[in-house]
């Protein structure tokens, strides 16, 4: 029990810090928490519920779960958990599983299409029901793995921001767990005995890029425990002048932007020294 209390206190601290640092939740917000049935979304929902009960500001919390018609899906325990914790919810059934299995050849990664279909349904539901914030359960390790994956496999420096305005400018997506470590979430979920529902799509693919990147970061962390925290800090300490993105710097004409800080006489003498006159 002491260990559970310590984990809960730690997760509350870092979630509260993220909410404060990025102004994730404000008074009067209607927050739709996306609960997939995994450890991360269960933990996020539990922590946000506790914060809702303790916070001085008032905000609404609503759990949304998408039943994608995966084989073996059973949400009876999930429904009971929502009801026992006084969390209003809806479980919406949409057969995206069949679409993904039909469109993606065997052996290729399902995640991209699956997430696009799921995101579209989530956005539409939030708009129809009037929720102004959509909460996702991505944690610190998701952010740093996404950063490294993007660099290695997509040739871009990008990750998951703690607060995101959707492309159509209609939705604000928040990630309250961005400071939380996966190992703490996993330990907390186990201690809380959440009724986890495994994903039969992603869980069936063992050789995903994300898993290889996770292994790489884990190996580096054995040599230097600060690697994960340094990577997370890097996401908030960008130095554009030290990179080579031409949208930030007009490299071809940078000479024209240079300020003249020496006089013509100084320039002349400098030139004489350089060329040996």
Sheet of 163-165, strand order = 89-93, 60-67, 30-34, 133-135, 172-174, 163-165
Query: Of residues 174 and 120, which shows the higher confidence score?
Result: 174
HSE value, Cβ hemisphere, 13 Å, CA-based, for 124:
9
Q: Is 19 contained in some domain?
A: yes
State residue 239 phi and psi, 5-degree precision.
-115, 85
Q: Is 121 contained in some domain?
A: yes
Q: Which band of pLDDT confidence, cut at 50, 70 and 90, is reported for residue 72?
A: confident
Tell me, what CATH number does 66's domain have? 3.40.50.620
Residue 71 has a pLDDT of 84
Structure tokens at 174: 């928040």
Q: What is the DSSP letter of 85?
A: T
Q: Is 122 contained in some domain?
A: yes
Residue 272 has a pLDDT of 42
Q: Is 230 contained in some domain?
A: yes
Q: Model-level pTM?
A: 0.87
Q: Which helix (H) or strand (E) holds 66?
A: strand 60-67
Least confident of 17-31, 94-108, 164-178: 94-108
Residue 116 has a pLDDT of 82
Asked whether residue 246 carries a pLDDT value surpassing 70, the answer given is yes
Task: Find all residues with CB under 8 Å of 22, minimum gap 6, and list them.
Answer: 162, 163, 174, 178
Give the whole-angstrom CA distance, residue 59 versus residue 86: 15
Q: Is 88 contained in some domain?
A: yes
Give the whole-angstrom CA distance, residue 269 versus residue 212: 58
Q: Is 250 contained in some domain?
A: no
Span 56-67, average pLDDT: 94
Span 47-56, average pLDDT: 94
Span 217-242, average pLDDT: 95
Give the whole-angstrom CA distance, residue 87 versus residue 272: 79
**If you search the block for the tokens 């039969």, which residue do you land on?**
200
Q: Which band of pLDDT confidence, cut at 50, 70 and 90, is reported for residue 255?
A: confident
Give the whole-angstrom CA distance, residue 148 versus residue 230: 13
Q: Is 149 contained in some domain?
A: yes
Residue 273 has a pLDDT of 46
DSSP secondary structure letters along 177-199:
TTTS-HHHHHHHHHHHT------
Q: Using one digit for the tens of pLDDT, what is the confidence trace for 159-179?
A: 999 999 988 888 999 999 999
Asked whether residue 70 carries a pLDDT value surpassing 90, the answer given is no
Q: Using one digit for the tens of pLDDT, what is the confidence trace for 169-223?
A: 889 999 999 999 999 999 999 999 999 998 765 555 555 788 899 999 999 999 9
Q: Is 245 contained in some domain?
A: no
Q: Could you count the other beta carbons within 10 Å of the beta carbon of residue 114?
A: 21
Question: How many domains does the chain contain in total?
Answer: 1
Domain span including residue 188: 2-240
Least confident of 67-76, 93-102, 128-137, 234-243: 93-102
State residue 273 phi and psi, 5-degree precision.
-65, -40
């Amino acid at each position: 029990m002491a260990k559970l209390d310590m984990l809960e206190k730690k997760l509350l601290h870092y979630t509260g810090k993220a909410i404060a640092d990025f102004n994730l939740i404000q008074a009067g917000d209607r927050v739709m928490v996306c609960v997939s049935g995994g450890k991360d979304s269960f933990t996020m929902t539990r922590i946000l519920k506790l914060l809702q009960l303790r916070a001085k500001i008032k905000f609404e919390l609503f759990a949304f779960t998408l039943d994608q018609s995966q084989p073996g899906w059973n949400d009876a325990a999930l429904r009971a958990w929502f009801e026992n914790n006084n969390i209003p919810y809806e479980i919406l059934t949409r057969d995206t599983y069949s679409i993904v299995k039909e469109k993606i050849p065997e052996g290729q990664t399902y995640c991209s299409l699956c997430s696009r279909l799921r995101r579209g349904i989530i956005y539409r539901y939030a708009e129809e029901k009037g929720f102004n914030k959509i909460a996702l359960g991505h944690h610190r390790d998701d952010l740093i793995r996404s950063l490294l994956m993007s660099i290695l496999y997509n040739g871009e420096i990008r990750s998951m921001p703690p607060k995101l305005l959707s492309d159509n400018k209609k939705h604000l997506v928040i990630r309250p767990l961005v400071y939380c470590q996966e190992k703490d979430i996993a330990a907390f979920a186990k201690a809380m005995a959440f009724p986890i529902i495994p994903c039969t799509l992603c869980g069936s693919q063992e050789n995903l890029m994300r898993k290889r990147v996770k292994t790489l970061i884990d190996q580096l962390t054995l040599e230097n425990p600060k690697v994960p925290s340094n990577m997370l800090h890097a996401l908030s300490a960008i130095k554009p002048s030290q990179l080579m993105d031409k949208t930030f710097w007009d490299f071809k004409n940078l000479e024209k932007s240079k300020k003249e800080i020496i006089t013509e006489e100084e320039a002349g003498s400098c030139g004489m020294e350089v060329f040996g006159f």
